[in-house]
Chain A
Amino acid sequence: DAGVTQSPTHLIKTRGQQVTLRCSPKSGHDTVSWYQQALGQGPQFIFQYYEEEERQRGNFPDRFSGHQFPNYSSELNVNALLLGDSALYLCASSGKVPNTGELFFGEGSRLTVL
């Protein structure tokens, strides 16, 4: 049973560029959340997708956008990259009803903005 998979593992971009990160949820899960984890900090909620819709959003600018596909996989897009966007981006999936509340995280995509 595959867990949450994310790609790419690492990437380097320059300021002003755009990036797309991808996530496949754990088998049987239909909800995907994205978190940003800055170095030495806890994960910060970006948004959550369910039934291909953004269900909830954290305190992130519109430069951060996402998408969920019919197979429940998801993408995170960040436009006009800033140096401060350098972080580990974590995808987490959670299960269908009953939802136990447990988040299953992938290993993340490490983004460096130069």
Chain B
Amino acid sequence: QQQVKQSPQSLIVQKGGISIINCAYENTAFDYFPWYQQFPGKGPALLIAIRPDVSEKKEGRFTISFNKSAKQFSLHIMDSQPGDSATYFCAASRYNFNKFYFGSGTKLNVKP
């Protein structure tokens, strides 16, 4: 059973637009939800993360929205830039950070 489901699989956005990627999780014991960004040939790198005690977290152009009752969270990239073109993964973990469950990824292409 897939613990974290991510959509869409791919996304094309014009420069300056808003990119939105959604994730849903199953296990209510999860309490740490990061987003990772991966460029071709590189390992994933942490972009932003949220704990379930807040509904939103913003860092620059990146915002996580979190809906605990719906068991869903999303990444919003404001003013999307061509340099944001990458694959994005949502993930979830319990408090001990021992094991992370990753979504299947969203390939974002921001057109100039």
Q: Which residue of B lies closest to A40 (CB)?
A: B105
Find B44's partner among A41, A43, A45, A56 (CB 8 Å cutoff).
A43
- Given contacts A101-B49, A103-B46, A105-B44, whether A45 and B101 have CB atoms under 8 Å apart is yes
Find A90's partner among B44, B101, B105 (CB 8 Å cutoff).
B44
Q: Verify B99–A107 contact, CB threshold 8 A.
A: no
Cβ of A102 to closest chain B Cβ, rounded Å: 5
Q: How far is the CA of A101 from the CA of B36 in the complex (A)?
A: 12
Q: Which residue of A lies closest to B106 (CB)?
A: A42
Cβ of A23 to closest chain B Cβ, rounded Å: 11
Cβ of B45 to closest chain A Cβ, rounded Å: 7
Q: Verify A107–B41 contact, CB threshold 8 A.
A: yes
| Chain A contacts for B41, CB-based, 8 A | 107
Q: Check: B104 CB closer than 8 A to any chain A CB.
A: yes
Q: Verify B102–A56 contact, CB threshold 8 A.
A: no
Q: How far is the CA of A44 from the CA of B46 in the complex (A)?
A: 16
| Chain B contacts for A44, CB-based, 8 A | 102
Q: How far is the CA of A56 from the CA of B100 in the complex (A)?
A: 11
Interface members, chain B 43-94 (any A CB < 8 Å): 43-46, 49, 89, 91, 93
Q: How many residues of B contact A (CB 8 A)?
A: 24
Find A41's partner among B32, B36, B104 (CB 8 Å cutoff).
B104
Q: How far is the CA of A90 from the CA of B44 in the complex (A)?
A: 9
Interface members, chain A 22-64 (any B CB < 8 Å): 33, 35, 40-45, 48, 55-56, 58
12 CB contacts below 8 A, A to B, read A33-B99, A35-B102, A41-B104, A42-B102, A42-B103, A43-B102, A45-B100, A55-B98, A56-B98, A92-B43, A107-B42, A108-B43
Interface members, chain B 17-42 (any A CB < 8 Å): 32, 34, 36, 41-42
**B interface footprint on A61-95 (CB within 8 Å = 1, 0 otherwise):** 00000000000000000000000000000101010
Cβ of A84 to closest chain B Cβ, rounded Å: 17
